[in-house]
Amino acid sequence: MTVPSGIYIRKARIQDVRTIHALLMDCSKQGLLLPRSYNQLYSHLRDFFVLAQDQGAILGCCALSITWDDLAEVRSLAVAPECRGQGWGRRLVEACLSDAITLGIFRIFTLTYQAHFFERLGFQVVSKDNLPQKVWADCLHCPKFPDCDEIAMSIEM
Ligand SMILES: CC(=O)SCCNC(=O)CCNC(=O)[C@H](O)C(C)(C)COP(=O)(O)OP(=O)(O)OC[C@H]1O[C@@H](n2cnc3c(N)ncnc32)[C@H](O)[C@@H]1OP(=O)(O)O
């Protein structure tokens, strides 16, 4: 497998939406994360960081979504298979954590099947009961609702 060169992390642009959508759809078909509609991606595009290549390809993404005055969520994390295992997933999450600090938010949670990956970044498993009700607003649209089997994790910075 050829490892792409000239890749870096930047904020998402409007031209990236279709590629972000395709990346997330690929992972969601494998049951790894929840799909996001074009409507959601356009309206939340400012939340996203992408792993971009000089030639224009988008090889990864991650979003920081503000939940409430002291809480934000890391979501929609995906790295293209050819770029995995090189620290890009970690850097994408760190970009979101850094953004949270800039915004003055120091408690971040995530809902994930990749508990070990997030543990490596300092997240800890928490009870879903410890997350505020507001967190579950999007879940009403989830095909798995109300039987969520994702693991809740959080980090305090
Ligand atoms: C909130 C959410 O969106 S959850 C959905 C997460 N996304 C997916 O599952 C989609 C498919 N998977 C992927 O896109 C990728 O495998 C990711 C995003 C999970 C990981 O991205 P990568 O770029 O491969 O991870 P990266 O190389 O940065 O690894 C960081 C650390 O986590 C570890 N790690 C990476 N993936 C995993 C894993 N699946 N299980 C356990 N540890 C892992 C690495 O060994 C590394 O450890 P280190 O700090 O000791 O070196």
Domains of the chain: 7-156 (3.40.630.30)
Which tens digits make up the pLDDT trace of 35-51? 899 999 999 999 999 99
> Which residue has a Cα nearest atom 28 of ligand 1?
87
**pTM as predicted:** 0.94
Between 137 and 149, the more confident residue is: 149
In 2-130, DSSP assigns E strands to: 7-11, 48-53, 58-68, 71-79, 107-112, 124-125
Percent of the chain with pLDDT over 70: 98
Q: Which atom in ligand 1 lies closest to the alpha carbon of residue 116?
A: 41
> Which residue has a Cα nearest atom 48 of ligand 1?
120
Measured over all CA atoms, what is the biggest interatomic distance in the chain, rounded to whole angstroms?
Answer: 45
Report the alpha-carbon distance of residue 6 to residue 32 in Å, rounded. 27
Residue 146 has pLDDT above 80, yes or no: no
The end-to-end CA distance of the chain, in Å, is 37
The arithmetic mean of pLDDT across residues 57-85, rounded, is: 96
Q: What ipTM describes this predicted complex?
A: 0.95
Output the ligand 1 site: residues, CB below 6 A.
27, 32-33, 74-79, 84-90, 110, 112, 114, 116-117, 120
